[in-house]
Amino acid sequence: MNRLVLRFVLFAVLLALLTSNGAAQSINLSCQEGSHVKIVRSTPIMIVDHIEPSLDFWMKRLGFKKTAEVPHGDELGFILLEKDGNQVMMQTRKSIADDSPATLEHATQHTVVQYIDVDSLDAVLKCVEGMKLLMGPRETFYGAREILLRDPAGYMIMFAEQKKK
Spell out the per-residue pLDDT of the chain, length 165, in tens.
Answer: 555 445 544 554 454 444 444 444 454 455 455 555 566 677 888 989 999 999 999 999 999 999 999 999 999 999 999 999 999 999 999 998 887 787 777 776 666 778 898 999 999 999 999 999 999 999 988 888 999 999 998 888 999 998 887
Strand-by-strand arrangement of the 45-48 sheet: 45-48, 86-92, 75-83, 65-72
* Alpha-carbon span 20 to 108, nearest angstrom: 14
Can you give the pTM of this predicted structure?
Answer: 0.69
HSE of 93 in the Cβ direction (CA atoms, 13 Å)?
9
| 3-state secondary structure at position 57 | helix
Residue 48: CB atoms within 10 A of its CB come to 21
Torsion of CA 89, 14, 22, 113, to 10 degrees: 10
Query: Are 156 and 63 spatial neighbours (Cβ–Cβ below 8 Å)?
Result: no
Contacts of 111 (CB under 8 A, 6+ apart): 156
List pLDDT tens digits, range 10-54. 554 454 444 444 444 454 455 455 555 566 677 888 989 999 999
Give me the sign of the Cα torsion angle 22, 156, 60, 77. positive
Domains of the chain: residue spans and CATH: 1-19+31-109 (3.30.1900.10), 111-165 (3.10.180.10)
HSE of 62 in the Cβ direction (CA atoms, 13 Å)?
24
